[in-house]
């Protein structure tokens, strides 16, 4: 009887030991690309096209070489379709070669197309559409 009781206890301990062990996550599926915003470091199987990548951003500089636009129009403000705006306070003698912000009109945006308005106190300056490409300086001249 003692033997049966000891064997039963031993069998119970062995069963509990196996039941409490964690099963490895060998079948976890997810994005395995560390540059993706939904990267899963515990994924074993790649999800095949489920990775989500953040949009690249680019600099956008509106500029003018028209001094009278700045000084005679009562200020010039660029307003984008996403609600952001910036006031241009000066003009360039020649086209800028970089997006270093000297006179306003500067934005740092996700890639895409944006419509813009040119708001001034006394001049009718047309707006339009501008496309921003990521990882670069995008220039838009207003006249």
Q: What is the pLDDT of residues 53-63, one digit of tens each?
A: 888 999 999 99
pLDDT, tens digit, for every residue of 29-86?
899 999 899 999 999 988 888 999 888 999 999 999 999 888 888 789 999 999 999 9
Sole residue written with tokens 């106190």: 121
Contact 91, 104 (CB under 8 A): no
The pLDDT of residue 10:
65
Q: Average pLDDT over the chain, rounded to whole?
A: 87
Backbone phi, psi, residue 23, to 5°? -80, 130
Question: Positive or negative CA dihedral for 109, 111, 117, 118?
Answer: positive
Of the candidates 95, 84, 80, the one whose C-alpha atom is nearest the C-alpha of residue 137 is: 95
Task: Grade residue 20 by pLDDT with cuts at 50, 70 and 90.
Answer: low
pTM of the model: 0.69
Reply yes or no on whether the pLDDT at 5 is more than 80.
no
What pLDDT, in 10s, does the model give residues 106-132?
Answer: 999 999 999 999 999 888 999 999 999
């Amino acid at each position: 009887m003692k033997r049966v009781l000891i064997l039963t206890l031993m069998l119970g301990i062995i069963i509990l030991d196996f039941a409490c062990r964690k099963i490895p996550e060998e079948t976890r599926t997810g994005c395995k690309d560390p540059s993706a915003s939904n990267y899963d470091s515990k994924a074993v199987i790649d999800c095949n096209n489920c990775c989500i990548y953040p949009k690249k951003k680019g600099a956008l500089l509106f500029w003018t070489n028209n001094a009278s636009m700045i000084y005679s129009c009562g200020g010039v403000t660029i307003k984008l379709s996403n609600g952001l705006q910036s006031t241009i306070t000066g003009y360039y003698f020649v086209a800028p070669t970089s997006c270093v912000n000297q006179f306003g009109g500067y934005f740092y945006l996700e890639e895409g197309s944006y419509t813009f308005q040119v708001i001034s106190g006394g001049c009718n300056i047309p707006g339009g559409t501008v496309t921003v490409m990521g990882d670069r300086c995008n220039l838009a001249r207003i006249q």
